[in-house]
Amino acid sequence: MLTLKDIHVSYGQAPALHGVSLEVPEGHIVTLLGANGSGKSTTIHAVAGLLPIQSGSIDFEGREIAGLSTEAIVRLGICATLEGRQLFGEMTVLENLRLGAYTQGEGKGFDEQLERVLTYFPALSERLELSSYLLSGGEQQMLAIGRALMARPRLLLMDEPSLGLAPLLAQEMFAGIMSLSKAEGISVLLAEQAADLAVGISGYGYVLEVGKVVLGDTARNLLDNEEVRSAYLGH
């Protein structure tokens, strides 16, 4: 569904990605592992069209999307949630969700989709009129994901969704992501430092080191890999 081939990205003079290639198969959850600064976030940003790409290709369902604007990429069915959640803090939960559906228009489909999204995050349905900065950290993350879902994506990019969440909440959230991906048939590319939980729900994983993929394997093999376990999975 998504194939990155030899992606190069740099921030000014400093190269951030040199030759990242990876694949997200349809309906699968794929996790990017790696230390801080290894290029996980940069990869997510590059796919979302938030960063210019020096060279390489990004193929989404047979279409080259490298160089497209974020707006165009969203319209093709790729949505991202970023670190820091990037909500419209002064706006209500409902307004955030409405904005999530910006590319979809607000016809009959809107109410339907809203109802669907709220079944995944029932806590939000009681807080629709609340300013989103008043939500707890966990609820904010739910809103960020819910807002992305409002655009009916087929591929969800997630940058550090568990950041700032208590372990139990993080666990709940990953379980939520898994059931959502299954039920809606949404593929997920996940960058995560709390990697054991993330790999636990994934089919595949890639390990990044200083802007390069050094290992790509099934989640099961990664969990069994002694080196990976000690370096990234914390046990």
* C-alpha to C-alpha distance for 148 and 156, rounded to whole angstroms: 8
Least separation in angstroms between CB 72 and other proteins: 8
Stretch binding other proteins (CB under 8 A), from 9-17, 118-126, 135-143, 187-195: 135-143
According to the binding rule CB under 8 A, does residue 148 interact with other proteins? yes
Stretch binding other proteins (CB under 8 A), from 30-38, 63-71, 167-175, 215-223: 63-71
H/E stretch holding 21: strand 14-24
Under rule CB under 8 A, which residues in 71-130 are in contact with other proteins?
Answer: 71, 74-75, 79-82, 86-91, 95, 98-100, 102-103, 105-106
Q: With contact defined as beta carbons under 8 Å apart, do 8 and 15 qualify? A: yes
Nearest alpha carbon to residue 22 among 207, 231, 225: 207
* C-alpha to C-alpha distance for 129 and 144, rounded to whole angstroms: 16
In this complex, which beta carbon is closest to other proteins, that of residue 3 or of residue 92? 92
The tokens 């960020």 sit on which residue?
A: 144
Least separation in angstroms between CB 146 and other proteins: 12
Under rule CB under 8 A, which residues in 186-225 are in contact with other proteins?
Answer: none
In this complex, which beta carbon is closest to other proteins, that of residue 111 or of residue 224? 111
Least separation in angstroms between CB 133 and other proteins: 5
The tokens 């190269």 sit on which residue?
A: 15
Binding other proteins (rule: CB under 8 A), the pick from 4, 9, 66, 151 is 151
According to the binding rule CB under 8 A, does residue 50 interact with other proteins? yes
* C-alpha to C-alpha distance for 71 and 74, rounded to whole angstroms: 5
Total of residues contacting other proteins (CB under 8 A):
34
In this complex, which beta carbon is closest to other proteins, that of residue 33 or of residue 148? 148
* Distance set, CA 172 to CA 11, 146, 154, 192, 222 (Å): 35, 15, 22, 15, 22
Residues with Cβ within 8 Å of 97's Cβ and at least 6 positions away in sequence, in order, are: 114, 117, 124, 128, 143, 146, 147, 150
In this complex, which beta carbon is closest to other proteins, that of residue 140 or of residue 207? 140
* C-alpha to C-alpha distance for 25 and 43, rounded to whole angstroms: 17
Least separation in angstroms between CB 77 and other proteins: 11
For residues 66, 4, 51, 73, the Cα torsion angle rounded to the nearest 10 degrees is: 50
Q: Which residues form the interface with other proteins (CB under 8 A)?
A: 48, 50, 69-71, 74-75, 79-82, 86-91, 95, 98-100, 102-103, 105-106, 133-135, 137, 140, 147-148, 151, 164
